[in-house]
Amino acid sequence: MLIDSLIPKHQAFIREYLKDRNGSQAAIRAGYSAHTSRVIASRLTANVNIRAAIDEMENRIAAKDIDELSLWRKELQTLAFVNVPTDEFKYDHKLRAADMLGKHYGAYASESGSAAAFAIQINLGNVTDD
């Protein structure tokens, strides 16, 4: 990774910058003077090596977020569409998972009044009021 080739103070700036994309605050949290933090942040983010390390870390974060989103979607699909006896699994969990998936995929009407054109069928089995 590019960040490993930088000095520790630059590494700290990058880690802090990635938290909120606020260069001045990142510089302060990385140990630079509050009085010169804006100038330092501008200089650091313009540095080719630091910019490349920031870009690399942002790409790694984005890839991780996509992987986690995919896992979340698979888990919701499992919950929404699992077929188990209702005494082992509360049907409201299935409904909540299906609702979250519907929102994620845009199945509900938007402000413009249009809705996605697909349906979800959920088999609730023998539903009882517990």
Domains of the chain: 2-66 (1.10.10.1400), 82-130 (no CATH)
The more confidently predicted of residues 66 and 109 is 66
3 state DSSP class of 41: helix
pLDDT above 60: residue 114: no
What tens digit of pLDDT does each residue of 71-95 get? 778 877 887 777 766 666 667 777 7
Query: Sign of torsion, CA 18 24 28 33?
Result: positive
Closest CA to 23 of 2, 39, 47: 39
Mean pLDDT over 56-85 rounds to 80
pTM value surpassing 0.85: no
What tens digit of pLDDT does each residue of 4-13 get? 999 999 999 9
Q: Which three-class secondary structure string do you get for 62-130?
A: HHHHHHHHHHHHHHHHHHHHCCCCCCCCCHHHHHHHHHHHHHHCCCCCCCCCCCCCCCCCCCCCCCCCC
